[in-house]
Amino acid sequence: MQENPSHNEKIARLTFAGVYPHYVTKVESKGRTEQELKQVIEWLTGFNEHKQQELVDRKVTFETFFEQAKLNINAEKITGVICGYRIEEIENPLTRQVRYLDKLVDELAKGKKMEKILRV
């Protein structure tokens, strides 16, 4: 799948608040918890539970969300395919960061052990 500017712009405009409930639904439908989801988000972004809620309440875009994040040093170890894209080949930094988060949520929903998800 080829990356394109309109796709990248669409991702930048998405709000974290708009996507977060879908993440919760996905992980809970597979027997995982919202608390585990929050742990995964904190690992990737550095945002604790309070900060995550603040960002949801403020309805920040993914662009703002990741501008404020301090990405985990091991985030580059997140590889593979998500939504038809090979993460390590995504050139746009914001799109790649959003796909990192999508991949972690997917791994959580698929029942991967937390140590593997957090690249410990």
Q: What is the DSSP letter of 110?
A: T
Query: What pLDDT, in 10s, does the model give residues 81-99?
Result: 998 889 999 999 999 999 9
Q: What are residue 119's phi and psi, to 5 degrees?
A: 50, 45
pTM given for the model? 0.93
Query: What pLDDT, in 10s, does the model give residues 61-85?
Result: 999 999 999 999 999 999 999 988 8
pLDDT of residue 23: 98
User: Both tokens of residue 69?
Assistant: 């994040």
Domains of the chain: 5-112 (1.10.8.290)
Query: What pLDDT, in 10s, does the model give residues 11-69?
Result: 989 999 999 999 999 999 999 999 999 999 999 999 999 999 999 999 999 999 999 99
Judge whether 102 and 27 are in contact, CB under 8 Å. Answer: no
